[in-house]
Amino acid sequence: MTDEQNWQAPGTQPPAPGAPQPAAGTPPPPPQAPYGYGQQPGYYYGQQPGWTPPPKPGLIPLRPLSFGTLIGAPFQALRRNPKITVGAALLIQTIPSIVVSLLLVGGAVLLVSRIATADSSDQAAITAGAIGGSIVLGLLAAVVSAISSALLQGVVVGEVARGTVGEKLSFRSLWHLVKGRIGALIGWTFLLALGWTLAVVLVVLVAVALFALGGGPGIGGGIAVVIFGGLGLAALAIWLNTKLVMVPSALVLERLSLRRAVVRSWNLSSGYFWKTFGIIALIAVIVYAVVQIISIPFSILGGLLGGIFAPTSVSTGDPSAFSQLIVSQLGVNILASIVGAIVGAVMSVVQTATVALLYIDLRMRKEGLDLELVRFVEARQSGRTDVRDPYLPPVQPSPPSV
């Protein structure tokens, strides 16, 4: 038998000894496809492998997320379940912000009017009272903002997590899911704010002490503390806030204690600092641009109204003219506060959703959370109701008893 007759097609098996030989001119049998990883029968080498894309039951595909997905998915979260995202923003953050804004504007108008109409002998005491009232109103606004921000974070994190596996919960169900973590979220918000407040106060006190010494060294040292202290605080804020940005997600989804949530966020962001910071910074720039585009027209309108209704209020010093200026801008300020509160709350949803998606992405990359999510979705589709929450930390096996 010649070499040409001994030739076999790739993938075919040679005939067994003693088996009848095919007749001359008979075409060889089709080759058997040696399947590679991810191939299915019917695909031969040289053809496109039978790749199956990862499932996407809800908001995102269940795989480590690309840059485009991380940028676009937070805005998709608004459209996917607007009753929860926009509704929670309006209910939890917008209404308290509007009430506080009205109190601030009304208080400011009252205090300024009293100073403008007071006798010269009473102006010092009234001015001191106005300063104290302004501080109280400012603290009230900060407390209300911190509490509403913590509540909104919990709701949005829960919505993004359940939306990832294709669930659409009602507000009552979502609130039942996260209400046990509200205290931890509020505590973390106040703890973070207190820490940064103390850091800023420390720098200011050092600068004031140096300025009080007087002379060239004191003034120069105070200026140096203000410049380098401010730059140092800014760099420290960027670093620490990026490392700790996932604490709310860990508190809500893994139901960890505050200390363990801090450690969790720190470990998840290790090795992905610049990616985390870049995504958050880019979303912040987009949000800032949107808010400014909407709020700038109101600022321009307020200035125009003041010039139209009270053009000489500042130059004449007439208290009645000054009151006209305040009244003319009050309506614009109230409207601007309402619109700004609505837009700001909606944009807060986008920023919180971004952080929640970064948390899920890093757990996919580091811990294989995508596989757990796929198993959860498949088990739920098969009708099982005893499926463990995939976001909870893995159960550590108990040590064997001796």
The residue whose two tokens read 């403008």 is 116
Q: CA 171, CA 185: separation in Å to the nearest integer?
A: 18
Q: Is the pLDDT of residue 296 over 50?
A: yes
pLDDT tens sequence across 113-130 = 766 666 666 667 777 776
DSSP per-residue codes, 203-258: HHHHHHHHHHH-HHHHHHHHHHHHHHHHHHHHHHHHHHHHHTTTHHHHHHHS---H
**Looking at per-residue confidence, does 294 or 53 come out higher?**
294
Say which range, 44-48, 65-69, 242-246, has the weakest mean pLDDT: 44-48
> What pLDDT score was predicted for residue 42?
39
Which range among 63-67, 272-276, 292-296, 389-393 shows the weakest confidence by mean pLDDT? 292-296
Ranked by mean pLDDT, the top range of 290-299, 362-371, 375-384, 391-400 is 362-371
Domain ranges of the chain: 67-177+259-374
Q: Regarding predicted confidence, which is higher, 3 or 374?
A: 374
Whether 3 shows a pLDDT value over 90: the answer reads no
- Of residues 145, 97, 107, the one with CA closest to residue 129: 107
Name the residue among 96, 57, 21 with its Cα closest to residue 376.
Answer: 57
Output the pLDDT for position 161: 92
Average pLDDT, integer, range 159-167: 90
Q: How far apart are CA 38 and CA 375, in angstroms?
A: 19
Give residue 2's pLDDT.
45
| Interval 187-195 mean pLDDT | 91
Please give the mean pLDDT across all residues of the chain: 78
**Long-range contacts at 224-227 (CB < 8 A, ≥ 24 apart):** none
35-39, 243-247, 308-312: which has the highest mean pLDDT?
Answer: 243-247
Mean pLDDT score, 108-117: 70
pLDDT for residue 27 is more than 70: no
Give first-to-last CA distance, the chain, whole Å: 73
pLDDT value for 10: 43
**Which pLDDT score is estimated for 8?**
46
Spatial CA neighbour of 108 closest among 327, 340, 382, 256: 327
Is the pLDDT at 320 greater than 70? The verdict is no
b/e for 204-243, b at 16 or more Cβ within 10 A?
A: eeebeebeeeeeeeeeebbeebbeebeeeeeeeeeeeebb
Mean pLDDT of 243-264: 93
pLDDT above 70 covers a percentage of the chain that reads 71
pLDDT of residue 9: 43
Q: Determine the pLDDT at residue 132.
A: 75
3 contact partners, CB below 8 Å, separation of at least 6: none
pLDDT over 50 at 380, yes or no: yes
Which of the given ranges, 1-10, 211-220, 359-368, has the highest pLDDT on average?
359-368
* Largest separation between any pair of C-alpha atoms in the chain: 126
> Higher model confidence: residue 66 or residue 324?
66
Which of the residue ranges 114-123, 198-207, 224-233 would you say has the lowest mean pLDDT? 114-123
* pLDDT tier at 44, thresholds 50, 70, 90: very low
What percentage of residues in the chain have a pLDDT greater than 90? 28
The answer to whether 363 touches 369, Cβ cutoff 8 Å, is yes
